[in-house]
Structure 1
Amino acid sequence: MQDDADRTLGSEVGVDPSYICRVVSGERIPSWPVTRRLALALAADPEEILPLWRSARGYDTTAGAADLQAALRGLRTAAASPDTGLLAERTQLAKGQVEDAFTGQVLPDWDTTSAIVTALNREPELLRPLWISARAAALAQETGSTCTISAGAFG
């Protein structure tokens, strides 16, 4: 069902309001140009949403922790930017863990990432390929190894 917000946003982005409904409900993944226009219309940084969009599209990504954090920030923006204290309460994580997941120097483990994504009302599996790629990059950096197998090869 369309409402005034969908009509306004659809008009601003240049797409049908029903398409906005399908994007918001997760039924559709828009093209990058539409995603970028949506981000700008919602006062979000498109570059923070790009890793999430690439992961949702199933594109091979050689992500690092910064890309995962950008995707988490994009999900947070899409969820109306809930306070980290509220997210800590929803996830039963320490507030510092939640803050570090968005901006920290260390890649959060999968359980932490999954809990935060769930608290943002999204499916954790959406971010799993991006997390796997970021984890592979972190391990390569720790060991000095250079892996030439794409993260997509691991499912």
Structure 2
Amino acid sequence: MPDSRSAGQIECQNCRVRFMRKNSTGRPPKYCSSQCRSAAFRTRNTEAAEADYSREAERIGQAVATRARMVAQSSSLPMPTWPLEPLRHSVALKRELDDFIAVSVREALDRGARWEDISAVTSMPVSQLQVRYSPVQVSKAVDARRGRRPRQHVAPPARVAVKPAATEDVPGGRKPEGWEARHMLARALSNLHRFSGQSARAIALRAELSPSYVYRLTAGERHPSWKAVRNFVLACDGEPNDLVDLWNAADGQEQLLPDGAGFDDVLARFQGAVRGLHLAEARPNPDAFVHALPDVAKHEISIMKSLLSTSPARRSGTLSWTATKALTVALHGDSDRIRQHWNALRAAAPRSRLLTQAFG
């Protein structure tokens, strides 16, 4: 049987020796002695002191400038779209400034400044500065910023052709040019919002948009910028690449990667275009959906199911146009647009794959 005393022992986070806590109330201790606590503190300070804050200072400085512009813009409006918008930007600006001051203090010390010099500039006592801007405290602030950064996204490449879209209805009750593309983009955004399980206000906060603007996006009342769409998708924990082709179609753009793009890039663009259509149709079950398609060979069924998944569908380069068109039509997409992506994918696919399909 295990020793009953060992069950109540705690492992010291510095020397890893197990010890019994002296008091049964309060927060459990992390260290077995004050010497271990001091040693751990010195280790953290040494590790944090080795950090280079120059890159962080540049990033935070850019964030401060962006937030300052947002404050100026929201304060200049006679009636903000959202009553709390100026306050939200101001609070965010203060947080950015606090972080910038923190890394600037550490940078100044690295460049030879004394605590007394910093005290004269900040009008803060040296003792208070040394506690607030210790290497450990500043490192925590930097780590917290990194945790708040959105994940990397795939931005759309340069536009290659422009077809201006009309913005008003034409006589005779017909829909304006590009209306269907904009409506499909709005459906995709609305479905993404619903799948995220978040409120419009929560998404607006994460995407740095107003709640009313989020409502207009999902209702198709506004044609948004790519930045607004990207931020919206990231706030919903989605993949921006899935919305690139829908956004370009709504914007009246022919969207293709430049000549010489690698197979992986072309594949990602083709898969994103198809997944965007799938999202606009509320993501019907891929298994049942694909099996119901006409004129699809048996070996192409698994390829199309992987095409609609999140993992790269590397065998998509062997899909026939007949199967690809059947999938596009079933998803109510533009066959001409998807054909461009399909042609680019076939051209970029390694020859061995195409020869295997042709002669195998």
TM over 0.5: yes
* Conservation of the 8 A alpha-carbon contact between 1:49 and 1:74: yes
Count of matched residue pairs: 133
Q: Which residue of 2 aligns with 1:5?
A: 199
2:347 is the alignment partner of 1:133: no
TM-score (norm 1): 0.60
Give, as a single letter, the amino acid of the residue that structure 1 aligns with 2:328: S
Using CA pairs under 8 Å that are at least 6 residues apart, name the structure with larger relative contact order, 1 or 2: 1
Q: Deviations over 1:20-56 (max 9, x none)?
A: 2332234433211111111111111223332332233
- Higher relative helix content: 1
Counterpart among 99, 113, 118 of residue 305 in structure 2 = 99
- Distance (whole Å) between structure 1 residues aligned to residue 219 and residue 238 of structure 2: 19
Secondary structure of 2:222's aligned partner: coil
* Structure 1 position 82, deviation (Å): 4.4
2:205 is the alignment partner of 1:28: no
2:62 is the alignment partner of 1:62: no
TM-score (norm 2): 0.30
Q: Which residue of 1 aligns with 2:44?
A: none
Q: 1:46 to 1:132 in 2, by over 3 A?
A: same
- Distance (whole Å) between structure 2 residues aligned to residue 89 and residue 31 of structure 1: 37
Q: Deviations over 1:81-125 (max 9, x none)?
A: 54312433665667525315432423563532324424xxxxx23
Q: 1:112 to 1:28 in 2, by over 3 A?
A: farther
Give, as a single letter, the amino acid of the residue that structure 2 aligns with 1:87: F
Q: Unaligned stretches of 5+ in structure 1?
A: 119-123, 143-155
Give, as a single letter, the amino acid of the residue that structure 2 aligns with 1:67: R
- Aligned residues: CA RMSD: 3.5
- Distance (whole Å) between structure 1 residues aligned to residue 222 and residue 214 of structure 2: 9
- Distance (whole Å) between structure 1 residues aligned to residue 288 and residue 203 of structure 2: 27
Q: Unaligned stretches of 5+ in structure 2?
A: 1-197, 258-265, 350-360
Q: Quick check: which has more Rg, 1 or 2? A: 2
Give, as a single letter, the amino acid of the residue that structure 1 aligns with 2:216: R
Show structure 1 runs of 4+ deviating over 6 A.
none
